[in-house]
Copies of this chain bind each other. A is one copy, B any other.
Amino acid sequence: MTPAPASGAKTDTTTTQSPVETAVADARFFRVLSDPTRLAILRLLLDGERSVSELVSILNVPQSRVSNHLACLRWCRFVEVDRVSRRGVYRIADPRLRDVLAVAQIVASDQCDHLSSCSRIGPDWI
């Protein structure tokens, strides 16, 4: 169980990355999904295309907030947009997203009570 500092951290181009570093990429994927507004947007889009203003009125939050989160989702390729004159119509870019959200929702609902009161990630919301 030698920590062996020599083994891991050289000018290590491809080898021996710590598991934590390897996880950074995927963690970021989950972080995109970890915001309630973004998640709500994605859920709506799973039911069909929507323009920004439609999202705003359905979600009932400020337009700047919706546009900001859409920019994030667009950049990270979770959604795509078509421009129809000045209207922007958004849709889900990767169909596999549906599976991720579906499985997650089932698991999450079972753990709901515990998730709600975990003081290590955000304040309680019950």
Contacts and interface: CB of A to CB of B under 8 A. Distances in A.
**Copies of this chain, tallied across the complex:** 2
Describe A's contact surface by its main secondary structure: helix
Contacts of A122: 28, 31
B105 A103 contact: no
A52 interface: no
Contact size range, A: 35 or more
A81 to B, nearest CB: 15
A42 to B, nearest CB: 9
B32 A115 contact: yes
A32 B107 CA distance: 13
Given A60-B18, A107-B29, A23 B3 contact: no
